[in-house]
Amino acid sequence: MIYLWLAPALALLSLALTAALRRYALSRSIIDIPNARSSHTIPTPRGGGVAIVMTFLLSLPVFGVLELVPWQQLIAIGGSGAIVAVIGFMDDHGHIAARWRLLGHFAAGIWALAWLGGLPPIVFFGITLNLHWIGNCLAVVYLVWLLNLYNFMDGIDGIASVEALSACLSACLLYGLSGASTLIWGPLTMAVAVVGFLYWNFPPARIFMGDAGSGFLGIALGVLSLQAAWATSDLFWAWLILLGVFIVDATFTLIRRLLRGDKVYEAHRSHAYQFASRQYGKHLPVTLAVGAINLFWLLPIAYCVTQLGLDGTWGVVIAYAPLIILAAKFHAGQLEASVST
C-alpha cells in the first residue's frame, strides 16, 4: 500500500526541511524576539511551518498521478493552502497590512469552495439544510476564521502541531470506521508532515511555525472538513468537535475582546491557553493537556456522532460546553492586568 512507504518518506522530508529552514532563519536573522505580548522568553527562529506546507503540497501530485484522489480535491486544498502560505511567508519576512492579508484569505476560501463544488447539504438538529449560495458564503467565512484562529492559537511551543496531529489521526480513525477510507489520504498526509516539524517544535521549541505554517494548517483542515461533509454530515460535525479546543478558545477570546472594544487585529496574549501557560510556568503541560482533551474527550464524542447515532449538532454542544467553562476559568479574553495568575 502506498501509505507504507509514502508516510515515513514524507515525515523524514518534513524533518529535514525543518532543519534546513532553521539554519536559513538563523542565517537571515528571522528571529522571534520576545516582547510584552509574547509567551516565550528566548529568541527563537521562526518560519519552520513552511516545511509542513512544502511536504504536503509535494505529496499532492503523487495522489493525482496515481489516480488515488480526484484532481479537483487536490487543486482545492493545494491552491487555497498555497495562497495562504505565500501570504504568511511574506508576512513572516516583513509585514502585510491586515486588510490585504484578509483579502488574500477570502480569495483562498473562494478558490477552495469553487473546486469542492460549494457547501453540501448539512444535517442540523435532524433537519437537512441546503443553503445554496448563502451556505457557500458561510463556508468561505468558516475557512477564513479557521485559518486565522489557527494563527492566533499558535502561541506556545508545540500546541498548533499537537492540535493538528491529534485531530488528523482521529479523523483517520473515524474515516476508517465510517467506510470513508478513500478520504484518509488528506489527514494522514497532514499528520506525517506535522510529525517531522513537531520534532523541532516540541517544548522547548527550537523553531516556531510562523504565519505561513499556521495559516496553511488552518485552511487545510477546514478544506478537509468540507470535503468530509460531501461524504456525510456526521464527519463534518466530527471535524468541528475534534478542533473544539482551538475553536472555543479563539472564538471566546475574540468575542470578549470585541465586546470590550479592543482592536482585534492587534497582537495579544489573552487566550486561555496563554494564561494557562503563564499560570503553570511552562508550555509543556498546556500542550500535553490539549492533546489529552482531544484524545480522551473530543474523540469519543466524535465517535458517538459517526458510529453511535448521536446527532452531530448535539455532539458539538456537548463537546464545547466544558471547553467554554475552561476558557472562562482561564480568563480567555480578559485584560492581563486584571488577572492574578
Q: Are strands 122-124 and 31-32 parallel, antiparallel or unpaired?
A: unpaired
> Is 73 a residue whose pLDDT tops 50?
yes
Mean pLDDT value of segment 261-285: 88
Residue 40 within a domain: no
Domain count along the chain: 1
Closest CA to 254 of 107, 163, 144, 140: 144
The answer to whether residues 213 and 55 touch, using CB atoms and an 8 Å cutoff, is no
Residue 39 within a domain: no
Q: Which helix (H) or strand (E) segment is 245 a member of?
A: helix 244-260
Question: In 10 A of CB 308, how many CB atoms?
Answer: 9
Mean pLDDT value of segment 123-137: 92
Q: How many CA atoms lie within 13 A of 238 on its CB side?
A: 33
Burial of 27 (0-12, 13-18, 19+ CB in 10 A): exposed
Mean pLDDT rounded to a whole number for the chain: 93
pLDDT of residue 37: 63
Q: Each residue of 141-192: pLDDT tens digit?
A: 999 999 999 999 998 999 999 999 999 999 999 999 999 999 999 999 999 9
pLDDT class for 38, splitting at 50, 70, 90?
low
The angle subtended at Cα 156 by Cα 47 and Cα 12, nearest 5°, is 50
pLDDT class for 5, splitting at 50, 70, 90?
confident
Residue 38 within a domain: no
pLDDT of residue 262: 85
Name the CA radius of gyration of the chain, rounded.
Answer: 19
Rounded CA separation 48/89 (Å)? 10
> Among 25-34, 128-137, 197-206, which is the least confidently predicted range?
25-34
Residue 36 within a domain: no
Which residue segment(s) compose the domain that 107 sits in? Answer: 2-27+46-118+127-338
- List, in sequence order, every residue forming a beta bridge with 122; answer none if it has no partner: 129
pLDDT class for 35, splitting at 50, 70, 90?
low
> Is 3 a residue whose pLDDT tops 90?
no
Residue 37 within a domain: no
> Is 341 a residue whose pLDDT tops 60?
no
**Which triple of cell numbers denotes residue 88?**
504568511
Rounded CA separation 175/172 (Å)? 5
Q: Each residue of 304-338: pLDDT tens digit?
A: 999 999 999 999 999 999 999 999 999 999 987 66
Residue 35 within a domain: no
Residue 71 within a domain: yes
Share of the chain above pLDDT 90, in %: 81
Do you know the residue count of the chain? 341
Residue 41 within a domain: no
